[in-house]
Amino acid sequence: MLEIYGSGRSRWVRPLWMLRELGVPFEAVTVDRGAGELDSPAFRQLNPQGKIPVLVDEGRPICESGAILLYLGDKFPDRGLLPPAGSYARGVHDQWMFTIATEFEQPLWRLHKQITRGEGDEAVAAQARRDFKVAAAPFEAILSGQPHLLGEDFQAADIMLAHLLRWSAAQPLLADTPALAAYRDRTTARLSFPAFLYED
């Protein structure tokens, strides 16, 4: 059985959500970060970097949330959460996956560290807000004219993007991007979204 290791509202939400979308059997294994489990020898055997999420498939670990989504989409191609490998549509899909991870997530991560983690450099936080706005612009334009990132069909890239936007809800960042705000709300309203992790 597939196992997904993680906890909280971290990037493990992405593969957890993907597995729920796929409707395949899996076990969610909660990792207690506060108790130091990320540094335990057992966990370091799964991921030497000591980070979540980790997917384990028949004893073999795969790390990094985006890579896990792509692996799962390819493993279960009949579920339709990835375009076919080698197709132009797949190239565009993966382009946006990498853009989300390398361009769009970075300013939010910087802002998270300044605000939530208390590093407290307002100049850095202000620049992160500006960078987030710039990164959001192409997504706002795309989602002003279609329901999902690649058109009509919900796919793995939507999980990456919607999780990022749900994370951004801690900061008032989407006031000027109504299409992104609406997309976030309707996408995270899907039954497969692990909303129980967001209940306070």
Local confidence pLDDT in tens for the 200 residues of the chain = 999 999 999 999 999 999 999 999 999 999 998 899 999 999 999 999 999 999 999 999 999 999 999 999 999 999 999 999 999 999 999 999 999 999 999 998 888 877 666 667 788 888 989 999 999 999 999 999 999 999 999 999 999 999 999 988 777 889 899 999 999 999 999 999 999 999 86
* Cα Rg, the chain, nearest whole Å: 17
So what's the pLDDT on residue 149?
97
So what's the pLDDT on residue 121?
78
Domains of the chain: 2-79 (3.40.30.10), 88-187 (1.20.1050.10)
In the block, tokens 């966990």 appear at 43
Cα 174 to Cα 147, 167, 177, 196, distances in angstroms: 17, 11, 5, 23
CA separation for the pair 167, 187 (Å, rounded): 13
Model pTM?
0.95
The residue count for the chain: 200
| Whether the bond into 107 is cis, omega within 30 of 0 | no
In the block, tokens 């207690």 appear at 32
Helix ranges, the chain (H): 13-22, 41-46, 65-75, 88-99, 105-115, 122-143, 156-167, 178-187
